[in-house]
Amino acid sequence: MKCSPENESILHVLRSFLGDRSPDPDGRYPWARLSWEGVLAVVKHHGLIPIFYHTLTRQDLNERVPSKVMEELKEGYLGSAAHTLFYEDFFKTLFPSFQEAGIPFVLIKGPSMAYEFYHPVEMRPYSDIDLVIQDGDYEGAKSVLSGLGMKVTDPEREGIRRKYFNSVPFSKPGEETILLDLHWETLMISWNRQPFLRGREVWEHIRWIKVSDLRLPVLQPQMLIPYLCLHLALHHQFGNLLTLCDLDLAIRKLGREVDWDRILQQAVGLKIKKPVYYSLRLASALLETPVPISILQSLRSSRVEEALLPFEFLIFRKRPLQVHLERLIKFMLIDDLKGKKSSLLAFYGQRGKETI
């Protein structure tokens, strides 16, 4: 993929952060000639401000970047640090409350990524907490959250969210609103009814990480990596470089713990080869993530999307996609004809726009 100078500069900084190396080892990169307004717009949209500020200052490149840009990056970095401390304080009551109620959960996405893979943790900003619970524990989990002052964010759609989306958002208003999503399945509801997060592999093989003196359950590598791939491809339509960094760090830091054969088996069995393949291929191509070539070759089944999807536009965009384009990309990533038919029936049938 051929990138613009601005987008290439973003990749230079991300590779430096992920690989602990200089983004400009010979001092010749034309930082001063970049359109920093465009760079900053992408960096903001993708939640990369803390990474950029940390990397540019650590590598003594701040003097080669416009002072106004550095001031904005610094302000964003400090805001991320304050936000992290705010949520961390809430964790001290949230997680023990679930454990005392005997409700199993798994922490996914933002906080789990931040505390396991990012140092310092404020390098990985997040806007909410995501917990996976088991199917039958929703009412119990809702009761725990209610006791902590949290309410369903949109009560009128709670039934629809439970039936079709397998997740319900909660919020706690205050000086800073706390957001939390309860999940019991992931992103394949429109066309794929096979269990992913509901499977035994999630609950029987949990890993534990330390957060604020608490031990918290997270996904095993063979579940975490395909989950991040699904999240990047289907939820963000490839337009979230922070999730791509999550994927890179999970692969780099978990190293030999990653069971690539099992990941391949799941991708084939659950018919999610396309989202897993494209996410891994982009990580490898853009961030130099060490994805085994044999895995990419085994996952690759079609060249159609590679020719049709405007990857640079999707990856480096500065705003959300229009809904119709988002749906089209999701449709293209469905593995087989049966899945595409199921998705169309879901969209045009009784469920209408609520399930696509």
Please provide the average confidence, as pLDDT, over all residues in the chain.
89
Report how far residue 133's alpha carbon sits from residue 203's, in angstroms, rounded to the nearest whole number.
10
- Annotate 137-188 with three-state secondary structure: HHHHHHHHHHHCCCEECCHHHHHHHHHHHCEEEEEECCCCCEEEEEECCCCC
Q: What is the mean predicted confidence (pLDDT) over 49-63?
A: 89
Is 164 exposed, middle or buried, given 0-12, 13-18 or 19+ CB atoms closer than 10 A?
middle
β-pair partners for 218 = 207
Share of the chain above pLDDT 70, in %: 93
**Two structure tokens written together for 237:** 């339509």
The pLDDT confidence band at residue 132, using thresholds 50, 70 and 90, is: very high
DSSP 240: -
The pLDDT confidence band at residue 352, using thresholds 50, 70 and 90, is: very low
What's the CA angle centered on 107, arms 124 and 321, to 5 degrees? 55
The pLDDT confidence band at residue 163, using thresholds 50, 70 and 90, is: confident
pLDDT value for 144: 98
Report how far residue 72's alpha carbon sits from residue 68's, in angstroms, rounded to the nearest whole number.
6
pTM beyond 0.75: the answer is yes
Report how far residue 277's alpha carbon sits from residue 255's, in angstroms, rounded to the nearest whole number.
19
| Residue 251 reports pLDDT greater than 80 | yes
The set of residues, in sequence order, having a beta carbon less than 8 Å from that of 27 and lying 6+ positions away, is none
How do beta strands 214-218 and 207-211 pair?
antiparallel
